[in-house]
Chain A
Amino acid sequence: MAPSPVPFPSSPERLTVSPTSSNNKDHRRRRSSSIISHVEPETFDVKQDQDIQSNLNANWVHFKGAWVVHIVIIILLKVFYDLILIPWQFSTETSWTLTNLTYGIGSYIMFHQVKGTPFDFNNGAYDNLTMWEQIDNGDQYTPAKKFLMMVPICLFLISTHYSSYDLTLFVLNGVMCLCVVIPKLASSHRVRVTIPFISHPQIIG
Chain B
Amino acid sequence: MSDSHRVTSIAVPEFVTVIIAKVVSEFHSSITLIQRLPGGSLIIRYIRSSYKNDPIRSLFELALALLALYYFFSSRYSQSEQEMIKLSNRDVDELVDDWIPEPLVPPIGDNERWQVDSIPVTKGGISGRITLLTPQGTELKNVMNLSSRDYLSMSTNKLVAENCKAVINNSGVGACGPPNFYGTQDVHVRFQEDIAGFLGAEEGIIYGQDFATHSSVLPAFLKRGDIAVVDGGVSVALQKAVLISRCSIEWYNHNDMDHLEQVLDSLKEELSEGPITRRFIVTEGLFDNFGDSPDLAKIVELKNKYKFRLCLDETNSIGVLGPNGRGLPEQYGIPRSMIDVTIGSMALALGSSGGFCVGCTAMIQHQVLSSNAYVFSAALPPYCAKAASTVLKLLEQDPKPLTKLQSNCQYVHDLFSKTRELSKFVTVVSKPYSPALHLRISPAIREALELPESYGGPGSKIAKAVKQGKEEDYFDELYNRESYLLQKIIDSVLEHGILISRSKRILHHEILPIVPELIVSITNEFSKDELKKAFAVINKAIIGHLKDLNLDEFDSLI
Q: Tell me if B454 is interfacial: C-beta within 8 Å of chain A.
A: yes
Q: A28-B270, A124-B224, A137-B80 are in contact. Are A6 and B460 (CB under 8 A)?
A: yes
B180: interface (CB < 8 Å) = no
Residues of B within 8 A of A8 (CB): 452-455, 457, 459-460, 513
B446 to chain A, nearest CB (A): 10
Q: Does B394 contact A (CB under 8 A)?
A: no
Contact pattern, B 437-462, Cβ under 8 Å of A = 1, otherwise 0:
00000000000001111110111110
Expressed in whole angstroms, the Cα–Cα distance for A150 and B555 within the complex equals: 76
User: Which residues of B lie under 8 Å from residue A114 when comparing CB positions?
Assistant: none
- Known contacts A139-B77, A157-B65, A160-B50; A12/B514 CB under 8 A: yes
Partner of B458 from the list A10, A137, A146, A200 (CB cut-off 8 Å) is A10
Interface residues in A114-153 (C-beta closer than 8 Å to B): 120, 123-125, 127, 136-142, 146, 149-150, 153
Pair A150/B72 contact, Cβ less than 8 Å: yes
Q: Which residue of B lies closest to A203 (CB)?
A: B274
- Tell me whether B458 and A19 are in contact (CB under 8 A): yes
* A170 interface hit (Cβ, 8 Å): yes
A184 CA / B148 CA spacing, docked (Å) = 65
Q: Please determine whether B52 and A19 come into contact, CB atoms closer than 8 angstroms.
A: no
| Contact in complex: A12, B513 (CB < 8 Å) | yes
Chain B residue at smallest Cβ distance from A163? B50
Residue contact A5 to B68, C-beta cutoff 8 Å: no
**For residue A149, which residues in chain B have a CB less than 8 angstroms away from its CB?**
68, 71-72
Query: Which residues on the B side are within 8 Å of A177 (C-beta)?
Result: 64
Tell me the complex Cα distance, A49–B458, Å.
24
Is the C-beta of B57 less than 8 angstroms from some C-beta in chain A?
yes
Q: Report whether A141 and B452 are in contact in the complex, using a CB–CB cutoff of 8 Å.
A: no
Instruction: Known contacts A11-B513, A12-B289, A149-B71; decide if A124 and B250 are in contact (CB<8 Å).
Output: no
Give, as a whole number of angstroms, the nearest-CB distance from B281 to chain A: 16
The yes or no answer to B60 lying at the interface (CB within 8 A) is yes
Q: Is the CB of B75 within 8 A of A141?
A: yes
When A and B form their complex, what is the total count of cross-chain residue pairs whose Cβ atoms lie within 8 Å?
173
Structural contact, B50 and A161, CB atoms closer than 8 A: yes
Find chain A residues with CB under 8 A from B254 CB: 12-14
B169 at the interface (CB under 8 A from A): no
Q: Given A140-B77, A200-B274, answer yes or no on A120-B223 (Cβ-Cβ < 8 Å).
A: yes
Name the contact of B223 in the complex, choosing from A28, A124, A140 (C-beta under 8 A).
A124
**A29–B246 CA distance with the chains assembled, in angstroms:** 12
Does B290 reach chain A (CB closer than 8 Å)?
yes
Is B162 part of the binding interface, using a Cβ–Cβ cutoff of 8 Å?
no
B224, A153: Cβ atoms under 8 Å? no
Selected contact of B233 from candidates A12, A142, A150, CB within 8 Å? A12
A25's nearest neighbour on chain B, judged by CB, is B270
Interface residues of B in 483-518 (CB under 8 A from A): 511-515
CB contacts (< 8 Å) of B270 on chain A: these are: 25, 28
Is A20's CB within 8 Å of the partner chain B? Answer: yes
Question: How big is chain A's contact interface, by range?
Answer: 35 or more
Assuming the contacts A17-B458, A181-B67, asked whether A49 and B246 have C-beta atoms less than 8 A apart, the reply is yes
Task: Give Cα A95–Cα B65 distance, bound, in whole angstroms.
Answer: 23
Verify if B225 is at the interface (C-beta below 8 Å from A).
Answer: yes
- Residues of B close to A103: CB separation below 8 A: none
Q: For B248, list chain A residues within 8 Å (CB).
A: 22-23, 27-28
Distance of A122 from chain B, by nearest CB (Å): 9
0/1 interface trace, chain A 149-178, chain B, CB 8 Å (1 if under): 110011011001100100000100010010
**Is A62 an interface position by the 8 A CB rule?**
no
Task: Indicate with 1 or 0, residue by residue over B272-295, a CB within 8 angstroms of chain A CB atoms.
Answer: 011100000000000001100000
CB distance from B528 to the nearest CB of A (A): 31
Residue of A nearest to B515 (CB): A12
Q: Are A127 and B225 in contact (CB under 8 A)?
A: yes
Distance A203 CA – B225 CA, assembled complex (angstroms)? 11
Q: Is B46 interfacial (CB 8 A cutoff)?
A: yes
How long is the Cα–Cα vector from A28 to B454 in the complex, in angstroms? 29
Within 8 A of A (CB), among B28-82: 46, 49-50, 52, 57, 60-61, 64-65, 67-68, 71-72, 74-81
Whole-angstrom CA separation of A17 from B251 in the bound complex: 9
Alpha-carbon gap, A186 to B77, bound state (A): 10
Pairwise interchain contact B64-A153, C-beta atoms closer than 8 A = yes
Q: How far is the CB of B262 from chain A (nearest CB, A)?
A: 13
In the docked arrangement, what's the CA distance between A161 and B65, Å?
13
A9 interface residue per 8 A CB criterion: yes
A89 contacts B by Cβ under 8 Å: no
B61 & A160 in contact (Cβ 8 Å cutoff):
yes
Inter-chain CA distance A20–B241, complex, in Å, is: 13
Q: Does B237 contact A (CB under 8 A)?
A: no
Q: B243 on the interface (CB 8 Å rule)?
A: yes
Interface centre among B78, B254, B256, B513 (most CB of A within 10 A): B513
Known A-B contacts A2-B450, A2-B478, A153-B65; A13 and B253 likewise in contact (beta carbons under 8 Å): yes
Tell me which residues across on chain A come within 8 A of B46, comparing CB atoms: 157, 161
CB of B232 within 8 Å of the partner chain: yes
**Pairs across A and B, CB under 8 Å, 29 listed:** A2-B450, A2-B481, A2-B555, A5-B452, A8-B453, A10-B512, A11-B513, A12-B513, A13-B233, A13-B254, A17-B458, A17-B459, A18-B249, A19-B512, A20-B249, A22-B249, A23-B250, A23-B251, A127-B225, A137-B80, A141-B71, A146-B71, A146-B72, A149-B68, A149-B72, A150-B68, A153-B68, A154-B68, A161-B46
**A9-B458, A137-B78 known; 18 other A-B pairs, CB under 8 Å?**
A8-B513, A12-B454, A15-B458, A17-B459, A18-B249, A18-B458, A19-B512, A22-B250, A25-B270, A28-B225, A29-B275, A31-B274, A138-B79, A142-B76, A150-B72, A156-B64, A161-B46, A200-B273
Name A's B-contacting residues (CB within 8 A).
1-15, 17-20, 22-23, 25, 27-29, 31, 45-46, 49, 120, 123-125, 127, 136-142, 146, 149-150, 153-154, 156-157, 160-161, 164, 170, 174, 177, 181, 185-186, 200-201, 203
| Top-7 shortest CB links A-B | A124-B224, A5-B452, A139-B78, A17-B458, A19-B511, A141-B74, A22-B248
Q: Mark B residues whose CB is within 8 Å of A.
A: 46, 49-50, 52, 57, 60-61, 64-65, 67-68, 71-72, 74-81, 223-225, 232-233, 243, 246-251, 253-254, 256, 270, 273-275, 289-290, 450-455, 457-461, 463, 477-478, 481, 511-515, 555
